């Protein structure tokens, strides 16, 4: 399962970086460094901030789900709990694919990463990557 999660994280970052105008959807460190470099040039960093917040939100939602399942579904084994958390991440990945496919013509024509369609798609992907943590 660890290898699957590593692949998903790497794939999420590759998709974000290549298709979404250089957003790191699975790497908060990359976003912080990129935000600092962009802020030093006095440019707007809306996308990086929003994507980073959604990464944290995805992590928080996964933690809430895990805590709920452990507390109220105590009969679940760790393996079943892991599968349920993986399904939680998969839901976000499927949503990313659907939204990204629908918005692709607008994403492709966007001038920079602060375009609202890139922010929407990147935020959903960041939810998935945060849920993985």
* pLDDT, tens digit (0-9, with 9 covering 90-100), for 49-62: 888 889 899 999 99
68: domain range? 2-132
- Who contacts 116 (Cβ-Cβ below 8 Å, separation ≥6)? none
Enter the pTM of the model. 0.76
* Cβ-based neighbour number of residue 112 at 10 Å: 11
Higher pLDDT, 1 or 122: 122
61: nearest Cα among 27, 83, 89: 89
Q: How far is CA 18 from CA 11, 12, 52, 107, 118, in A?
A: 10, 10, 18, 12, 12
Domain count, the chain: 1
Instruction: Flag whether pLDDT at 84 surpasses 80.
Output: yes
Q: How confident is the model at residue 33 (pLDDT cuts 50, 70, 90)?
A: low
Higher pLDDT, 27 or 66: 66
């Amino acid at each position: 399962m660890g290898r699957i999660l590593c692949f998903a994280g790497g794939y999420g970052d590759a998709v974000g970086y290549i298709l979404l105008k250089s957003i790191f959807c699975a790497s908060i460190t990359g976003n912080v460094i990129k935000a600092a470099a962009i802020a030093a040039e006095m440019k707007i960093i809306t996308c990086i901030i929003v994507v980073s917040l959604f990464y944290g939100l995805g992590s928080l939602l996964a933690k809430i789900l895990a805590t709920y399942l452990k507390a109220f579904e105590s009969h679940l084994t760790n393996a079943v709990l892991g599968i349920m958390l993986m399904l939680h991440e998969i839901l976000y990945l499927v949503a990313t694919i659907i939204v990204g496919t629908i918005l692709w013509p607008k994403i492709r024509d966007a001038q920079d990463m602060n375009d609202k369609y890139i922010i929407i798609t990147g935020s959903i992907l960041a939810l998935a990557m945060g849920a993985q943590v």
